[in-house]
Amino acid sequence: MILASYNNTCCITGLQNNELLVAGHIKPWSIDEKNRLNPRNGLAMNALHDKAFESGLLTITPEYKVKISPLLKQQKKNPAVRDYFLRYDRQDIHAPWRFMPDAEFLRYHNQERFKN
């Protein structure tokens, strides 16, 4: 349902390759059982950015902008970090055509999971 609502497109990069996309949770399953299947608790991302989101190295703000952790920004001389992460900092996400991510879930991720 999440991938379909994003038209099989990564919300950060715009990548449209089903084999590389993940329907990830904003609030993890282990923390919020009642919202496990809530489509507003999901984001479509490529596997690299999904892993970074899960580990708190990037977040999506309640204003639907990508925010990169200072831990990655410290590595700005690394071309891979610049190409795969820093170039997306403060950009708007590619919004789904339905089931916009819940701002409260994003606020939770920003405050509890994101590494400042």
Quickly list DSSP for 79-96: HHHHHHTGGGTTPBP---
73 SS3 class: helix
- pLDDT given at position 32: 86
Put residue 79 in one of left, alpha, beta given phi > 0 → left and psi -120 to 50 → alpha.
alpha
Residue 33 burial class via C-beta count within 10 angstroms: exposed 0-12, middle 13-18, buried 19 and up? exposed
Tell me the residue type at 41: N
Strand 66-68 with 58-60, pairing = antiparallel
pLDDT for the residue numbered 111: 98
Q: For 78-107, what is each residue's pLDDT tens digit?
A: 999 999 999 999 999 999 999 999 999 999
Residue ranges covered by each domain of the chain: 2-113
Q: What is the mean pLDDT of the chain?
A: 97
Query: Is 24's pLDDT higher than 90?
Result: yes
- pTM, rounded to two decimals: 0.95
| Nearest C-alpha neighbor of 109 from the set 63, 56, 37, 66 | 56
Range 6-16 average pLDDT? 98
CA angle 25, 20, 86 (to 5 degrees): 75
Instruction: Specify whether the CB–CB gap between 86 and 76 falls below 8 A.
Output: yes
